[in-house]
Amino acid sequence: MSEKARLLFEALDLDADGALTRVEVVSALRSKGPTLAARGDLPFWGVGDAEASSALFDEADANGDAVLTFEEFAVVVDRRFGW
């Protein structure tokens, strides 16, 4: 798992509980996405609308429990963002 995935996960984990919900992913990417992209923590093309953010969540939720662990998240973002 990449360090960039860890930094992005922590930035999206709005309540700092070590897991991501769909609401956190969508909200955080909308509010923090441009700043994260400007810092190089997220590709600019990764800053999408709510539908794209929700699709990323669905792709990462491997066990279907509606909560993303870091491991689930990192597998998808490392592959999708080429980290």
pLDDT digits (tens, 9 = 90+) for 22-43: 999 999 988 998 898 899 888 8
Q: Spell out the long-range contacts of 54-61 with Cβ–Cβ below 8 A and sequence spacing 24 or more.
A: 54/22, 54/25, 54/26, 56/25, 56/80, 57/20, 57/22, 57/25, 57/26
- Domains in the chain, number: 1
Residue 9 near residue 20, CB atoms below 8 Å = yes
Assign residue 61 the CATH number of its domain.
1.10.238.10
Residue 60 near residue 5, CB atoms below 8 Å = no
Q: What is the pLDDT of residue 52?
A: 85
Instruction: Report which of residues 28 and 50 the model is more confident about.
Output: 28
Instruction: Report which of residues 49 and 6 the model is more confident about.
Output: 6
Residue pointed to by tokens 């909560």: 67
Residue ranges making up the domain that contains 53: 3-81
The band of 56, judged by pLDDT with boundaries at 50, 70 and 90, is confident
Tell me the pTM: 0.88
Residue 77 near residue 8, CB atoms below 8 Å = yes
